Amino acid sequence: MLIVNPSSGDGGVDELLGAARAGGIATHVLADGDDLESVARGAGGGPLGMAGGDGSLAVVAGVAIELGLPFVCVPFGTRNHFARDLGLDRDDPVGALEAFATGVERRVDIGRVNERLFLNNVSLGVYAHLVHRREHHRRRRDTLARLRALGAVARHRHGIGLTIDGEPVQAPVVLVANNAYELSVLSLGERERLDEGLLHVYAPRGLLRADWEERSREQVTIDTAAHRVRAAVDGEPESLETPLDFRVEPRALRVLVPRRPE
């Protein structure tokens, strides 16, 4: 079964559905009111695939783990970070369908925050605030959303007050990643591995925030004075109850990827 989110990405739904059906893959196109998790649970006993963004992929990957099924990632979102780090061609969702028929299985890690699964990362602070603002204004179709987002950045100059495993930290952004990222000041790079078995916690440091302080461990607890905190989980807005208990589950997800040419 391939579940397709038609609102993800830049189109091409008909081509993807045609290729899937030609390959004997059952499909379900999400409609208004569909609960993605429920749809995935009712998909049957074969490989379970999702064509959508990283947030949708994480939901279906969680069901695949629960049911003991292999998972197929079809890049169909805006950024497709998980597909990139798997080594898939993010511009070729149709090519990713080959994994259903002749795929090679890989075991990759997943992360959890308060039992909520994530494939890539959880962000706290100014980036999470911007994700929440983006979602709010997208629903309202507000043409001033970008200017308001820039205003939100300006209001977060002094960072967020939190503790990481009991140690106070002041930073405008804290990122908890499932495996290590290559980071620059303004961008989130790739991960060389998805099976390291470690979380990596990043916070910018220094007056100019020119580099990142990094911690790596299997579990981490982040707490704030507030009972709930805004977060971006795989790029999706979430409100999480504190303290935030993070852990990695090594090689918990079975992923089918297309077989590469010899």
Residue where a domain stops, chosen among 69, 102, 135:
102
Displacement of CA 14 from its chain's centroid (Å): 25
The domain that contains 76 carries what CATH number?
3.40.50.10330
The domain that contains 183 carries what CATH number?
2.60.200.40
Indicate whether 109 belongs to any domain. Answer: no
Q: Cα-Cα-Cα-Cα dihedral of 76, 146, 34, 20, to 10°?
A: -10
Low-confidence ranges of the chain (pLDDT < 70): 9, 127-129, 131-159, 184-187, 206-210, 261-262
Q: What pLDDT score was predicted for residue 116? A: 96
In a shared domain, residues 152 and 244: yes
Angle, helix 126-140 to helix 145-154, in steps of 10 degrees = 160
d(CA 37, CA 48): 12
In a shared domain, residues 129 and 241: yes
Q: Report the candidate in 224, 218, 188, 227 with the shortest Cα–Cα distance to residue 204.
A: 188
Q: What pLDDT score was predicted for residue 92? A: 94
Residue 152: count of CB within 10 angstroms of its CB? 15
In a shared domain, residues 135 and 208: yes
d(CA 70, CA 72): 7
Q: What pLDDT score was predicted for residue 216? A: 97
In a shared domain, residues 82 and 140: no
In a shared domain, residues 131 and 221: yes
Structurally, the chain folds into a number of domains equal to 2
Q: What pLDDT score was predicted for residue 174? A: 92
In a shared domain, residues 180 and 213: yes
Condensed to tens digits (0 to 9), the pLDDT of residues 160-189 reads: 789 999 999 988 889 999 999 987 655 678
Q: What pLDDT score was predicted for residue 140? A: 45
Condensed to tens digits (0 to 9), the pLDDT of residues 116-151 reads: 999 999 999 876 667 556 554 444 444 444 445 445
Domain that holds residue 162: 121-249
Q: What pLDDT score was predicted for residue 34? A: 96
Range list of H helices, 68-140: 81-86, 93-96, 98-102, 126-140
